[in-house]
Chain A
């Protein structure tokens, strides 16, 4: 446990002393719950259309694949045509693209960012390293199967996939969302214990609450 996360007595600006327990006070520890479609089928269909047409990607590049995401914003590929845009904060994003290899150190940040995103949320694994480790299959500090740690909706194979492949993957993801089959957030909530156990198996310096949003 890092010293700044330990319980301590803090003196406020008005001279009043109070106890701070960062893990409990600064994070919400409630585990995620399954949130099924709350409305009638026709409204849910409309929402699914809107979700598919408005994909906000979290601007978080984990590996070398991050460099393949950027050209999508440029005139050559122009992903904005497909309703895709990048958001700087996980709160507003729906789609997390794990772009390439994921080191254990980054996995920790990825989990925290993923948990801060709101339901429904989607994960796309970009590149072979997210499927089976790819060229990092015998590395000591990268994870091999992304699906063990986060619920993945779609994989894009290749090393590296070209931006066109990423664009095609996004179009494919839109079909999944429109069919109402992209329920990754609910799968994560359902199998929460299993995902946490897997995550804790590789992250040895676990110094955060089990669920932090």
Chain B
């Protein structure tokens, strides 16, 4: 991996674009979901107001060091995932800090924030937070299984662990996308994707409508604002990984915006149609429906 100091401001620019895109996209998605429920929905700038408000809250309390670090880990997971994966294929500016083995690092970062949250929420001492974390971890772990299998299948298929090389192998028409060259891997990964997007039917862990809001029960003011910032970045960062691995990556920002929107819409469409699963139901669902696809994908390659 060759390193150039110029990569740092470029990466920050990527982060800035993705953060703002995430803010607007999440509001748009909330509006779409509201329209399905025949509501008008939130204003498109709502996320900015929420974020500013939480940063502007004057008092905050702490429960200890890990309570501080939980949201920081969470944000680091989202930002790290974004920064170590090429955002725009072939662009020197927006390849970020990607390197030869970044796929493994990306897999790690997907999980990193959740673990940080587990430690932070555990220290808050609230029983709902502890319940939420254990439920969340079990669900995310099973959702991660098919995704990990799909990633192995893709890495075997292209004989590389570099996301850039995987994208490069998919260029030249959409029939070269992993979606068509290895449909089973994509099926497994997309089913896992539903589970990790924090949308229905798999959002029982931290849905505000459930009695325990889950891990963030005790989080407030700037802590919560950090987590909200991550909430804007992380889904996009995750979709970037999916887009690169399975949907041919993006060669320019417009293509990036469109592809990310449509991949996000997969989980939204599923979410507005199906009611929430219990955690044990979703664990079973992932193991029964998603994991076999992943195994088939690995075997086929």
User: Which residues of A approach B to under 8 Å, CB–CB?
Assistant: 28, 35, 38, 46-47, 49-51, 53-54, 74-75, 78, 80-81, 83, 85-89, 91-92, 94, 118-120, 185, 213
Contact = CB atoms under 8 A, between A and B. Distances in A.
Contacts of A49: 49, 52
Interface of B: 34, 37-43, 45-46, 48-53, 56-61, 128, 208-213, 216-221, 224
A91 B214 CA distance: 13
Contacts, number: 91
B37 A83 contact: no
B221 A118 contact: yes
Contacts of A81: 39-43
B52 A118 contact: no
A91 B219 CA distance: 7
Contacts of A85: 208
A47 B218 CA distance: 22
15 contacts: A47-B53, A50-B50, A50-B53, A53-B45, A53-B49, A54-B46, A54-B52, A74-B39, A75-B39, A80-B34, A83-B43, A83-B50, A87-B208, A88-B208, A118-B60
B220 A78 contact: no
Nearest to B60: A118
A74 B38 CA distance: 9
B43 A92 contact: no
B59 to A, nearest CB: 4
B58 A92 contact: no
A80 B60 contact: no
Given A81-B40, A89-B213, A28 B61 contact: yes
B85 to A, nearest CB: 31
A78 B33 CA distance: 13
A209 B16 CA distance: 45
Given A80-B34, A81-B43, A89-B218, 5 more contacts: A49-B52, A81-B40, A87-B208, A88-B213, A91-B219
Given A35-B58, A118-B59, A54 B49 contact: yes
A94 B212 CA distance: 18
B58 A87 contact: no
A161 to B, nearest CB: 22
Contacts of B56: 47, 50-51
